[in-house]
């Protein structure tokens, strides 16, 4: 398998994971009273509507070129007007939870494909081996990518989903204090990733889910 094929096998599940993550936010927000994402055309699987220069292209590209052991990225956040949500902060927590939950569902679905195609590379010739083997590899990568996105996004750091879940459920004084930290949130996340500290925090959790599914 050449380098171009390896990149394709990584990029396809990464794009699917981050796009479904954002679409889930918009879809749940619409069901709870906020049609903003639908009105702006963001409840779509068209990747052009979701591509973020840094999170979808530059960061994953750097991780690929540097041989990083993991792939991480994000799409443009789906706009949500929390003031339109019927349930207030509780519904904000549900909208936030929908993203990581979509990654969990996709990880489970990908693990099923992985097990169904196990051994697909032996005893099959021609087109079957050209389809089954890449699908098997892509399913494995999809499980890992979705577990990484799920667990990292559940970290209690605003603007990550975990932070918004805490803001939605915590007492007012805690929610206000966390909301004030939002401007530094992504910087904190990038520092955790770049320093390798994140692996000690989320690595064991990812390993637990990996053993369950794979």
Q: pLDDT 10s per residue in the chain (214 long)?
A: 556 677 778 888 988 998 999 999 999 999 999 999 999 988 998 888 888 888 778 877 777 677 666 666 777 888 899 889 999 889 999 999 999 999 999 999 999 999 998 765 444 556 666 778 888 889 999 999 999 889 989 989 888 899 999 999 988 888 888 888 888 887 887 788 777 777 788 889 989 999 999 8
Angle between helices 89-116 and 127-153 (to 10 degrees): 150
Residue-level pLDDT at 119: 60
Residue-level pLDDT at 85: 93
Q: Report the distance separating Cα 58 and Cα 53, nearest Å.
A: 6
By C-alpha distance, which of 164, 59, 106 is closest to 51?
A: 59
Residue-level pLDDT at 127: 64
Residue-level pLDDT at 7: 74
Report the alpha-carbon angle 178-180-181, nearest 5.
70
Annotated active-site residue 6? The verdict is no
Residue-level pLDDT at 11: 82
By C-alpha distance, which of 158, 197, 153, 196 is closest to 176?
A: 158
| CA torsion angle 18 20 23 25 (round to 10) | -80
Residue-level pLDDT at 193: 73
Residue-level pLDDT at 1: 55
Quick one: which H or E segment has residue 81?
Answer: none
Residue-level pLDDT at 12: 87
Phi and psi at 107, nearest 5°, equal: -65, -45
N-term to C-term CA, the chain: 23
CB-based contact 186:195 (threshold 8 Å): no
Q: Which of 6, 22, 30, 182 is catalytic?
A: 22
Residue-level pLDDT at 174: 86
The set of residues, in sequence order, having a beta carbon less than 8 Å from that of 28 and lying 6+ positions away, is 94, 95, 98
């Amino acid at each position: 398998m050449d380098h171009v094929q390896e990149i394709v096998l990584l990029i396809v599940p990464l794009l699917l994971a981050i796009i479904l993550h954002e679409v889930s936010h918009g879809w749940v927000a619409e069901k709870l009273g906020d049609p903003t994402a639908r009105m702006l055309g963001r409840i779509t699987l068209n990747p052009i509507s979701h591509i973020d220069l840094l999170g979808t292209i530059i960061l994953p590209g750097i991780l690929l070129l540097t041989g990083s052991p993991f792939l991480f990225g994000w799409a443009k956040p789906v706009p949500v007007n929390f003031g339109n949500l019927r349930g207030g902060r509780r519904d904000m927590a549900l909208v936030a939870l929908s993203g990581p939950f979509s990654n969990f569902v996709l990880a489970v679905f990908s693990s099923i494909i992985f097990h169904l195609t196990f051994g697909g590379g032996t005893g099959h010739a021609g087109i079957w081996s050209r389809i089954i083997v890449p699908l098997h590899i892509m399913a494995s990568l999809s499980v890992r990518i979705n577990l990484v996105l799920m667990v990292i996004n559940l970290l209690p750091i605003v603007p990550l989903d975990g932070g918004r879940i805490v803001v939605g459920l915590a007492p007012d004084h805690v929610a206000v204090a966390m909301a004030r930290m939002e401007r530094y949130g992504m910087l904190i996340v990038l520092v955790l990733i770049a320093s390798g500290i994140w692996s000690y925090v989320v690595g064991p959790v990812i390993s637990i889910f990996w053993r369950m599914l794979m």
